[in-house]
Structure 1
Amino acid sequence: MGGRVRALVLSTLAFTTCFAVWGLISPLAPTFRELYGLSGAQAGLLVALPVLLGSLLRLPLGILADRYGGRLVFTLLLLGLLLPVGLAGMTSSYATLLAVSLMLGVAGASFAVGAPFVAAWWPPDRQGLALGVYGMGNFGTAISSFLAPKLADSLGWRTTFWVHLPVLVVMAALFWLLGRDAPGRVVRVPSLRERLSVFRRRPISWVLALFYFVTFGGFVAISVYLPILLVSEYGLSRPDAGTRTAGFVAVATLARPIGGYLADRVGGAPILNATFLVVAAFAVVLAFLPGMPILTVAFLGIAGMLGLGNGAVFKLVSSYFPAETGTVTGLVGAAGGLGGFFPPLVMGVVHDVAGSYAIAFMLLSEFALLCLVVNILVIQHRASLLTPEEGEGSS
């Protein structure tokens, strides 16, 4: 048990560190918007770029984690982040900031490294809870949302990036010195072609990718764009907007292990049904940009349900793909990352054209309802697709 707990704690801390770095651009976006005179679309692109690279790299990093083990890959990832974080504080134009923002996306791919590392340590009946706890590393974005505006006000936005450099070095050293890959980890590694064939042989992987596109993508999209919305539409100060965004992230993060635990007990499908239904309803409320009390309830309600959905999705991933957790985690995680990339762009463009965010929130509602229908028709009524005991080629 000691090895399991140590692996879970180290992975969660490393994941939190990566997500704190990944989330640095968003809370500072109002500062950059004022500094460089950015439009809504330009600001949306700025906060969306880290999400793009983070999503695209999740699949290859998941495969690397399966091949070389999480200890080595996570350590190298943490050290590799020193370059973009150092450069971020040296940018002097919108163009250079965009380039560094894209590079920071590497941190967003960290989930695909730690998920197979953690799952290998825990038995199937406890993987949902373990992965949910690991997923609490999402809290790193809450730390950034809360601290970055305050650090920028007191130390300057450049130093806000640089203070993360020693943190990355310390975390990399701890993970390398204390981390251990699970005993009995499979040494024989299938080829890339064999790995990727799982998406053809097991189409349920694409269904789970769709679900994570909405649950994690919605979480990321709202958390990265919320500071801009609160400052521009509700006139909040940047630190206040950052604090409220941190609250959104915290609720979603705390709900994630609960979602994994409930999925261990009652299955992932019922949790996802509730998630998609409630998110669809609250998204309609947000489309009308209500007063602050109702706005707060709606955003926190969405945060809680998205967190539950995140935990449920990865319980299903680890249950139905135990031998290919890293690969499928990469695919599903990439879908979630893309789900966080497009909405900020849409929100920026929609606001520039229509002067309102209503259309963007209605699209979130419609995507959630689509997932609800797919969950009922595929997972509940075609349970054979989700039976772990069935042959991998039978679906």
Structure 2
Amino acid sequence: MNQQLQPLDKLRVFSFRGIQMRTFHITWITFFFCFFGWFGVAPLMPLVREQLGLSKSEVGNIIIASVSATIVARLFVGKMCDTLGPRISYTILLVAGSIPVMLIGLSNSYESFLMFRFFIGIIGASFVITQFHTSMMFAPNIIGTANAVTGGWGNLGGGVTNLVMPLIAATFAGMGFVSHSDSWRIAMVVPGIILLIMAWIYYRYTTDTPNGNFNNLPADTRSYSKKNGSFLLALKDYRVWVLTLAYAACFGIEITVDNVAATFFIDRFDTGIIVAGALASIFGGMNLFARALGGMVSDKVGKTYGIKGKGVLLGILLLLEGIGISLFSTSNTLVLAIITMLLFALFLKMANGCTYGIVPFINKDNIGSVSGIVGAGGNIGAMLVGFLFKSETLSYADAFQYIGIGVFLIGFTVLLVRFRPKSQTAIQAVSLEVQN
């Protein structure tokens, strides 16, 4: 029984043996479909925009709404994980999130579409549960890599949806079920049903810890269990705010690109909706390896230079991301735009993985709260840059130029910040607990 309580110190991605690896695979697959539902309507926005007669400002408001609810949801879900456990928290979130996904097709006005798009955003809180649950199952020496892989493979859903959802909509229209202009409505039912299926799978086949669920374990045997004042303690730690700012500059930009990439390619290079979706999917497709790469490099750096080294690595990645986005914004050919998009996508997604390679070591007793605060930072970043895309005086290229400058400045700020030495002591303490 004691052996079962020990988190795994190796990540065997081709294995489903044991509750740890089974939970690992179910978690990233569930997160994948959460992204699929969250951004399912994004590549279909040109159809929505035309049918509902949306202005550029209204589309911008929809982009902002799609990430706004996630801010509060991530903070709330982080605390839920510390108390109810990730299994119940994820099940509740999946069921609740599936409802607006399936019902958004009933929208017949800007106001109703905006409301549904806002409530769909709660699905974005799935990231916090994903990272929390992975941290429960793996030892400190591999947490960064494990979190990066689950996060990256899950984020891959944001790229796949850009490719698949236009094809689903076109299939329904081609089969005569709906007109081309209404095809986005029935297409959105598909990801909603998938979310309900994943809710049942998650509840049935995962556990909160390697040794069982929170409600079946004594409080003193729950790794990372609830603590009095945990959320306030997390808020008082300046390192949490540094990571929150950093995550706003990487993940916040990622979900912004997921939202606008297809529309950007259509408006700037006059591509069709299916081609635009395929091009946008390339950006999300980088999650297949790039976020995991960031986590692995972070773990390697951490072994030699501790959490200080992890922080320096994160700052460098953000600097390179900012430069790449600026180059993307000035691309005047489709080929150059694709190349520069791949460039900044690499550094952005590595920065995502590096950020959550640090999170589990900030406060080992309150990982849910820390993860929720930092995760919310990503959505705050997306919400703020969303105002650039709603401006009638700025083109999407102009918006990306400002974003590139902002990310560079944040990277420089993170590079200058030094995490306190006690952070390294915390890492060593966690490692000793696992070894003993």
Q: Which moved more, 1:25-34 or 1:164-173?
A: 164-173
Query: Aligned residue for 1:162?
Result: 189
Q: CA deviation at 1:208?
A: 0.4
1:232 is aligned to 2:271? no
Q: Report the secondary structure of 1:180's partner residue.
A: coil
Q: Report the secondary structure of 1:330's partner residue.
A: helix
Q: CA deviation at 1:180?
A: 0.8
Query: Aligned residue for 1:322?
Result: 364
1:39-188 to 2 correspondences below 5 Å: 39-135=55-151, 136-155=153-172, 156-182=183-209, 183=211, 184-186=221-223
1:353 is aligned to 2:396? no
Q: Aligned in 2, Cα 1:54/1:86: closer, same or farther, shift over 3 Å?
A: same
Q: 1:5 aligns with which of 2, 16, 21?
A: 21
Q: Report the secondary structure of 2:227's partner residue.
A: coil
In structure 2, distance between residues paired with 1:166 and 1:152? 15
Measured against aligned partners, the alpha-carbon deviations of 1:50-84 in whole angstroms (never above 9, x if no partner) come to 21111221011011011111111111111112321
Query: Aligned residue for 1:389?
Result: 426
Q: 1:281 aligns with which of 323, 346, 350?
A: 323
In structure 2, distance between residues paired with 1:339 and 1:309? 14
Q: CA deviation at 1:24?
A: 1.4
Q: TM-score if structure 1 supplies the norm length?
A: 0.92
Contact residue 248 and residue 303 of structure 1 kept, 8 A: yes
Q: CA deviation at 1:366?
A: 2.2
Identical aligned residues as a percent: 25
In structure 1, distance between residues paired with 2:192 and 2:72? 24
Contact residue 280 and residue 365 of structure 1 kept, 8 A: yes
In structure 2, distance between residues paired with 1:321 and 1:145? 36
Measured against aligned partners, the alpha-carbon deviations of 1:155-203 in whole angstroms (never above 9, x if no partner) come to 1111111122331222111111110111342486224x44223221x21
Aligned residues: 385
Q: CA deviation at 1:211?
A: 0.4
Query: Aligned residue for 1:305?
Result: 347
What residue identity is the alignment partner of 1:282? G
Q: Report the secondary structure of 1:120's partner residue.
A: helix
In structure 1, distance between residues paired with 2:230 and 2:71? 22
What is the CA RMSD across the aligned residues, in angstroms?
2.0
Query: Aligned residue for 2:414?
Result: 375
In structure 2, distance between residues paired with 1:58 and 1:217? 13
In structure 1, distance between residues paired with 2:149 and 2:409? 28
Query: Aligned residue for 1:393?
Result: none
Choose 1 or 2 for highest CA Rg. 2
1:194-273 to 2 correspondences below 5 Å: 194-200=230-236, 202-267=237-302, 268-273=310-315
Query: Aligned residue for 2:226?
Result: 189
Q: Which moved more, 1:283-292 or 1:102-111?
A: 283-292
Contact residue 40 and residue 191 of structure 2 kept, 8 A: no
Measured against aligned partners, the alpha-carbon deviations of 1:8-39 in whole angstroms (never above 9, x if no partner) come to 11111111111110011211111111112222
Structure 1's consecutive aligned runs of 4 or more residues displaced over 6 angstroms after TM superposition are: none
1:36 is aligned to 2:52? yes
In structure 2, distance between residues paired with 1:366 and 1:327? 30
Q: TM-score if structure 2 supplies the norm length?
A: 0.84
Q: CA deviation at 1:325?
A: 1.1
Q: CA deviation at 1:344?
A: 2.9
Q: Which moved more, 1:28-37 or 1:271-280?
A: 271-280
Unaligned runs of 5+ in 1: 391-395
In structure 1, distance between residues paired with 2:397 and 2:157? 29
Contact residue 44 and residue 225 of structure 1 kept, 8 A: no
Contact residue 25 and residue 47 of structure 1 kept, 8 A: no
